[in-house]
Amino acid sequence: MLSNFAVYVDDLIVSLRQSGYGLFVGQVFVRYLLYADAIVLLSPSCFGLRKLVSMCENFGAEWNITFNPLKSQLATLNDLEWPFCIKFCFALVCLEL
């Protein structure tokens, strides 16, 4: 069963699916995870993550949805590229690793 939030952001889900950004978990390509009113964006690169976040910000601006950067987190599993992403800002708030 889809949550109300998933139905509300259906157009965003379609855009994220069509973006081409994401990563493989085993043999499954994953771009995002939805649970209740939370979205987890997944990318193996800073560039890809910035693109996915930008898509969310643009969607929010178009549909008057505010994503709360104070409830947002940034995590890495492989920091080879991430030192070059020293500042990762979302909705005018910079997130720390």
Domain of 37, in residue numbers:
4-95
Q: Taking residues 4-31, what's their average pLDDT?
A: 84
- Top pLDDT among 11 and 94 is at 11
Q: Taking residues 27-37, what's their average pLDDT?
A: 85
First-to-last CA distance in the chain?
33
Alpha helices in 1-97 (DSSP H): 4-8, 10-18, 46-63
Percent of the chain with pLDDT strictly greater than 90 = 7
The answer to whether residue 62 scores a pLDDT higher than 60 is yes
Q: Please state, in angstroms and rounded to a whole number, the distance separating the CA atoms of residues 43 and 84.
A: 15
Look at the pTM and tell me if it is higher than 0.85: no
- Please state, rounded to an integer, the average pLDDT across all residues of the chain: 78
Tally of domains within the chain = 1
Q: Taking residues 63-90, what's their average pLDDT?
A: 70
